[in-house]
Structure 1
């Protein structure tokens, strides 16, 4: 670690592995993922942290992937009081009621078909684009969808890890030091 590490990364590097894993659970709910990333502390820079996160995502078992998905709310229904979900799903915030209702219907159909929440990295996507994504992905086989979910989870984890590394506020590790424009991953 260098003295020029961003504030959140410097803070993470000072934690013991158990405390770091706890903090990292806010990035990804899978215990195996957070333990793997915490085991690599300290990180010399954000790039090294992101690489560790990527490796941990790729290494998730099927049950670990399930645990990670369980930590994500439905698109259009962010968890109350959870600022990361609300921010990440900002593309749905001003959606017309008919679109929101259709998204809820398709979320339920998706969960029935695949047995888990529809997971998409929605950064920069509008409500209409999110709706189109779920409509398209409903036609996938379970095997294809599992691969897509792992990729989307990796993208979400990278965004959240980047925020954690840059965060100047120890009370909210997912908040960036400077608000990002148009962010809506989730």
Structure 2
């Protein structure tokens, strides 16, 4: 590892957190205990890129059960968790959606859940409600195997976005 003077401040703090606190911080980002364990065992990280690479590798190795555990931590699109600023921010594209679009998303979400047995997961950051709806319409036609890999990719993108503040210089201790 490089010295802490070259490791971003937030990452240096993450590297030195006691394991229970680091595990809790990671669990806030992703509900997969396997993913969190893999990131914990990779500490210390010299750079944010090292942390992101470890996250990507952990995501690639998740089993179906691990993916299900991770998805269980995500609310349906259009219904962010009350009091959760992260899910509200990530789903901002649905905030100003018309009642018709919200009703269509609810219907599509239910159909998706019935087909695949889990919540529709998409990296919603920066997407409009219409873009999320269009992706949902398209993905509902996937096979379960195709959708599982799409979910893995989307979850990896979400985790990278959520990990980024952990690396920042002024990240909370």
Shorter-chain TM band: over 0.9
What runs of 5+ residues in structure 1 fail to find an aligned partner? Answer: 172-186
TM-superposed CA distance for 1:16, in Å, is 2.5
| Cross-structure match for 1:109 | 111
| Structure with greater helix share of residues | 2
| Cross-structure match for 1:97 | 99
What RMSD in Å do the two structures reach over aligned CA positions?
Answer: 1.4
What runs of 5+ residues in structure 2 fail to find an aligned partner? Answer: none
Q: Is the 8 A contact 2:165 2:171 kept in 1?
A: no
TM-superposed CA distance for 1:10, in Å, is 1.8
Q: Is the 8 A contact 1:17 1:41 kept in 2?
A: no
TM-superposed CA distance for 1:167, in Å, is 6.7
Query: 1:36-185 maps to which residues of 2 (within 5 A)?
Result: 36-166=38-168, 168-170=170-172
SS in 2 for 1:25: helix
Moved over 2 A (4+): 4-8, 16-19, 167-171
1:28 and 1:80, CA in 2 relative to 1: closer, same or farther beyond 3 A?
same
TM-score between the two structures when normalised by the length of structure 2: 0.93
Q: Is the 8 A contact 2:11 2:167 kept in 1?
A: yes
Q: Distance in 2 between matches of 1:83 and 1:167?
A: 21
Higher mean displacement: 159-168 or 106-115: 159-168
